[in-house]
Chain A
Amino acid sequence: MTLLSSNGFATELIGGRCEMCGEVSFPARNWCTGCGEPHIMPERLVGVGILYSYTVVHLGRPGVAVPYALGIADLTAGVRVVARIEQWDRGLRIGAKVTVQPAPAEECQEDDRANLRLRVEEG
């Protein structure tokens, strides 16, 4: 299941909505944390939000290039995303508007849930 789709205007995430109780999740879960049932359908979520917090990691796991910026974004869709921040030399500020973007192809991991980035928008 793909994580992200783009129609050229806005980035969309493909999360999940529980068919039984309506709970929305991102990434889409296998089991609903609201009612415990495994009936999760794809749900499109707009990939726009606010930067809740961030850090720049200097000590990383073996094989991972440092430093890199990591952020927590709270999306208007009501879900929280933890992801690396691209172009973080633009400046990091809590409350900045962020959009979710696909990770560059050369950095993509097998688990495509991890293949997204946050972009801090100007203004």
Chain B
Amino acid sequence: MALIIGAGMTVFGRHPDRSFGDLGAEAVHGALKSAQISLKQVEEVVCANVLGGMLPGQRVLREFGFSDTPVTNIENACASGGSALHHAVRMVDCGERDLVLVLGVEKLSALGGGLLPQDADDLEVQQGITLPASYALRATRYMAQYGATVEDLARVSVKSHENAALNKYAQFRDPWTVEDVLRSRMVAEPLTLYMCCPNSDGAAAVIVCSHQVAKQHTLHPVHVRASALVSGHFDPVRDITVSGTTSTAVGQAYERAGIGPDDLDLVECHDPFAIAELLYYEVLGLAPAGEAVPLLKSGGTSLGGRTPVNPSGGLLARGHPIGATGVAQVVEAWWQFRGEAGARQVNDPKVALTHVTGGGISGYDNGACTIHVLTT
């Protein structure tokens, strides 16, 4: 089994004056310090990045004059961070490596903002689909099927911002009301701007190692009980309110870890748009189909609730530097397990689930999904 012995991240936000390499280096340095190891001890590096161009990992590690050690750069859209972690876990699980650095880094401010680019040959893109529109279509359908309202969507953002206000690494630090969210500009009905995650810059890193190495460094490693990576299922006429990709991945993860949704003490799930968090409550098994809104309204997924979801603020409020997000979720779990989450501390957590999906191609609900089950 692979273990995590260190984690670090930058504040997420807009950092146009920081270089790509510098952002990544800050996260790497934080993770190394937290693990009390040096970069020289790292045997292999896996770096997650989506829109940063060639050799993102090497451009970060160049800041340290890093040499010789193999680096692989991974891209799976918004699931890149989880995918990078997945491959590091595999290297350790199979006995090939004892110490691997996982890094996720993104600097979206370099692209100037606005909609993320998609495949110009994709028919749906030519028809006018955008990532917000693809989630808006899910929201329209879900609301018609189950009676959810725009206020319910706004409540997801309100919860995320409440949590992020307690997270010094989050992009947004001000609490929002339902009215604030509903009054923000419309992006794709029913999704307003404040129901959509921001474009962000940032980096996060974790140190993955074998049991042998963990023993030498800490009494409190985090255990990676399951690491599932799946691709989307090709189904042009699928039910868009049910993420089949996540369903497959979470089934594998629960089975591998020997747990169910009731065992989770906290969840960091993929919430690029408010509707996504509601849909994922259901497919992760936190609520039956159609019951996500009652769960949200009951406070069951708020801090202090039965299963806090996105205590960090999630993509909506902590931010979404694409490649970094999947790794930042693990950093949050790391801090939560060690009692270092400050005012957003979950009470004595022992089991966490982190989840990212990479979306945006026609015929599939997502291109990729990773789920990790982490325990003390």
Chain B: residues with Cβ within 8 Å of the partner, total of 30
Q: Contact partner of B126 among A52, A59, A74, A109, CB < 8 A?
A: A109
CA–CA, A79 and B189, complex, Å: 25
* Residues of chain B with a CB closer than 8 A to A68's CB: 128
CA–CA, A33 and B136, complex, Å: 27
* Pairwise interchain contact A82-B124, C-beta atoms closer than 8 A: yes
* Pairwise interchain contact A80-B237, C-beta atoms closer than 8 A: yes
* Pairwise interchain contact B130-A82, C-beta atoms closer than 8 A: no
- Segment at the interface with A among B137-145, B163-171, B198-206: B137-145
Q: How far is the CB of B117 from chain A (nearest CB, A)?
A: 9
With contacts A74-B237, A80-B236, A80-B237 taken as known, whether A94 is within 8 angstroms of B140 at the C-beta atoms is yes
With contacts A53-B137, A82-B362 taken as known, whether A60 is within 8 angstroms of B144 at the C-beta atoms is no
* Pairwise interchain contact A54-B140, C-beta atoms closer than 8 A: yes
Q: Interface code A45-69, partner B: CB below 8 Å = 1, 0 otherwise?
A: 0000000111111111100100010
Q: How far is the CB of B273 from chain A (nearest CB, A)?
A: 12
* Pairwise interchain contact B115-A61, C-beta atoms closer than 8 A: yes
A4 at interface (Cβ–Cβ under 8 A)?
A: no
Residue of A whose beta carbon sits closest to that of B136: A55
Q: Contact partner of B127 among A70, A78, A80, CB < 8 A?
A: A70
A102 at interface (Cβ–Cβ under 8 A)?
A: no
* Pairwise interchain contact B237-A79, C-beta atoms closer than 8 A: yes
* Pairwise interchain contact A111-B126, C-beta atoms closer than 8 A: yes
Residue of B whose beta carbon sits closest to that of A61: B115
* Pairwise interchain contact B144-A79, C-beta atoms closer than 8 A: no
* Pairwise interchain contact B189-A58, C-beta atoms closer than 8 A: yes
Question: Which of the listed residues B115, B136, B190 has the most CB atoms from chain A within 10 Å of its own CB?
Answer: B136
Report which B residues bind A (CB closer than 8 A): 114-115, 121, 123-124, 126-130, 132-133, 136-141, 144, 185-190, 234, 236-237, 240, 362
